[in-house]
Amino acid sequence: MHATFAASLLVSSMAASVMAQSAPYLDGTWKQIQPEVINCGPDILVDDFSNPRQGRLPLQGETADRWLDLLGGDYGKSGVGMEWSITTAGAALTPTSKEAFFFFKLDAGACYDLTSVNSLVFDIVAPAGSNFAMGLTQKTPDCKERVGGETGISDSPYVDLTKYITPNGQKQTVVLPFQDIKGAGDKLFDFAHLKDVTFINWTPPNVETVISNIRLRRACNGNGPTGTNTTVSTGSSPGAVPPQSSPAADATPAPSSTTDLGATATATPSDAASANAGTEPKIPNGAHALAATGLGLSALVAGVLALI
């Protein structure tokens, strides 16, 4: 990440650190979503955009409908600096500033296990000369909060789109091997507790990029995110829908298995519980600021937003 961008990111992060991180599901539990482990199996379809849908996340404190993918996670963007539309063509994104960001989650509660997944794959139509950086954010092992709060110190490394393709205005396929962003040493990314996938640092402004056919490529013979074999598996036909994918309108993820990580007696507003779906204020590293409850905290949030 560029030094100037990182500096502005830290300032924004400190301003947003007072806001809540996440919320439990409606039953009061925190869940880690674990896709079915199939060695060299079919791709996990995140979204083919054949039937764009909106719904309410099954989380305590959720108050508004959001654009949802087939795994039950929501799409989101910066509150300012990004214009978007979600249609059958995909997510059409037009950044109006470099600090704009776009994100998507792979489950409602934002705690998805990627340890059996090799790479992120998606189709893109990006204008010549354009670029953005791709990375991951993570949750704590109990799935309750974002590691490091809003500082972004726990994010994976960010890698430029142009490492994999040269944008030319035509549809191209991007394959981002997770081994490219796994980090090292005490900065090794925790792929077992993903918060979201985030695209940041867009250049140039005021040009449209369309992202579609998003899927996860399963690991093949040990080439998962921290494996030693870096060969990207071929997976299956890009349109294959795995057993855990659920396009149901109730917005509840349907994984093959989940792990409940305890319950909480007090409902905490979710980082997905913004009054406007997909437009909650969020710093460019993928941390999700959210609307808080209570008059005092509302005033504090209004003050923070006024400073940004």
- Render each residue's pLDDT in the chain as its tens digit; 308 residues: 443 343 343 333 323 322 334 789 999 999 999 999 999 999 999 999 999 999 999 999 999 999 999 999 999 999 999 999 999 999 999 999 988 999 999 999 999 999 999 999 999 999 999 999 999 999 999 999 999 877 778 899 999 999 999 999 999 999 999 999 999 998 999 999 999 999 999 999 999 999 999 999 999 999 999 887 777 765 554 444 333 333 333 444 444 457 777 644 333 223 333 323 343 333 434 334 333 333 333 443 344 334 43
Beta-bridge partner residues of 102: 77, 199
Q: Is the pTM of this model over 0.85?
A: no
- Where b means 16+ CB within 10 Å and e means fewer, 20-41 reads bbbbbbeeebbbbbbbeebeeb
User: Which residues face 135 on adjacent strands?
Assistant: 198
Q: Is 221 left (phi over 0), alpha (psi -120 to 50) or beta?
A: left
pLDDT for position 223? 94
Give the tokens for residue 32: 């880690």
- Provide the pLDDT for residue 253: 41
Domain spanning 3-307 has what CATH number? 2.60.120.430
Q: What is the pLDDT of residue 63?
A: 93
Given a contact cutoff of 8 angstroms between Cβ atoms, the answer to whether 32 and 143 are in contact is: yes
Q: What is the DSSP string of 107-172?
A: STTS-B--TTEEEEEEEEE--TT-EEEEEEEEB-TTSSSBTTTTS-TTSPPPEEGGGT----SSEE
8 A C-beta contact, residue 17 and residue 9: no
pLDDT value of residue 234: 55
Q: How far is CA 299 from CA 292, 296, 304, in A?
A: 10, 5, 9
Domain positions in the chain are 3-307
H helix or E strand, kind and range, residue 5: helix 3-16
Confidence at residue 257, expressed as pLDDT on a 0 to 100 scale: 58
For position 230, what pLDDT does the model report? 73
Nearest of 262, 183, 173, 176 to residue 226 by alpha carbon: 183
HSE-CB of 249 using CA atoms within 13 angstroms: 1
Widest CA span of the chain, in angstroms? 54
284 preceded by a cis bond (ω within 30 of 0): no
Place of tokens 């083919």: 48
Q: How many CB atoms lie within 10 A of CB 12?
A: 23
Whether the CB-CB separation of 114 and 71 falls below 8 Å is answered with no
β-bridge mates for residue 75, sequence order:
104
